Amino acid sequence: MRIRDLFDLGRPVFSFEFFPPKDDSGVDALFGRIQELRRLRPDFVSVTYGAGGSTRDRTIALVSRIQREIGLTAMAHLTCVGHTKEELAAVAQTLHDAGVRNVLALRGDPPKGESAFRAVEGGFRYASELVGFLEENFDFCVGGACYPETHVECRDHALDLAHLKIKVDAGVDFLVTQLFFDNADYFRFVDSARAAGITVPIVPGLMPVTNLEQIQRFTKMCGAKLPEPLLKRLERCAGDPVEVFRVGCDHATAQARELLDRGAPGVHFYTLNRSTATREVYKRLLE
């Protein structure tokens, strides 16, 4: 099923994101967790992408296996990092041949050890170029990323929104946000996007906090912020994993409920390959 069609069903669309492990035993363990989540009937799952090497290959294999063996709609991430146009075409064709019809098109982060993104010769510089290429040459449903607090490399809201409009116009069918913890940032962003003529669904991306140090690293890398009240609650219980888990799940549940009550088209959960917190929040939403 193409993900864009899910948004026409008149109900929230729920999804989970995973990343491919580095070895086969990790892949088998993750596959087992995804099988467990099947009972909750998410609308789709997505698998992130590492340019080059076995991580990239495992993304293709895992997405294909999820659809073939579990029967869930799966979306593969695809990035410009380290790839020529011809190489990206080959990856896209492999996904298409495996029956995958949903792709999240991304520029991608700079390779480890580098501070800035550099396109390879014969490659794409921007996600909008990859979107346009996929739109022209394949029949994928194409998703894109967006940033309620702006991209970490572009702190100008107006400029970031202008770049997003170019990407959507190139052929994006729906958007998934970077993680955020203050719903006001999401609603402000959606209002700005609509005013700019962006009409596709904008799905909020949430990550239940289970470790304070970990989430502080993530927010620093992606340019998101932890609201002061949430940060203080987490700091007070930082030495108690059970209490951190409770605080994180409570916050994510409250976030999701407000987002859905105020018209968000669904929720995309960043799982970090752990199903426990995601499953807890999702089950609460279904009650």
Q: Is 17 a catalytic residue?
A: yes
pLDDT, position 47: 93
- Chain Cα centroid distance, residue 87: 23
pLDDT attached to residue 57: 83
Alpha helices per DSSP H over the chain = 3-6, 24-38, 53-65, 85-97, 127-137, 157-169, 183-195, 212-222, 228-236, 241-261, 275-286
CA pseudo-torsion sign 33, 34, 36, 42: positive
Compute the distance between CA of residue 160 and CA of residue 157 in angstroms, rounded to an integer: 5
Domain residue ranges of the chain, discontinuous segments joined by +: 3-286
Q: What is the pTM of this model?
A: 0.94
Is domain 3-286 given the CATH code 2.60.40.10 in the classification?
no
What is the full per-residue pLDDT of the chain (287 aa) written as tens digits?
899 999 999 999 999 999 888 887 888 888 888 888 888 889 999 999 876 555 778 888 899 999 889 999 999 999 998 889 999 999 999 999 999 999 999 998 766 666 667 778 888 999 999 999 999 999 999 999 999 999 888 878 999 999 999 999 999 999 999 999 999 999 999 999 999 999 999 999 999 999 999 999 999 888 899 999 999 999 999 999 999 999 999 999 999 999 999 999 999 999 988 778 988 999 999 88
Which residue of the set 17, 121, 228, 280 is catalytic?
17
First-last CA distance in the chain: 26
Query: What pLDDT is stored for residue 52 in this prediction?
Result: 54
Q: What is the pLDDT of residue 21?
A: 85
Q: Cα separation of 3 and 75, whole Å?
A: 8
Give the pLDDT score at 160: 94
How many alpha carbons fall within 13 Å on the CB side of residue 221?
12
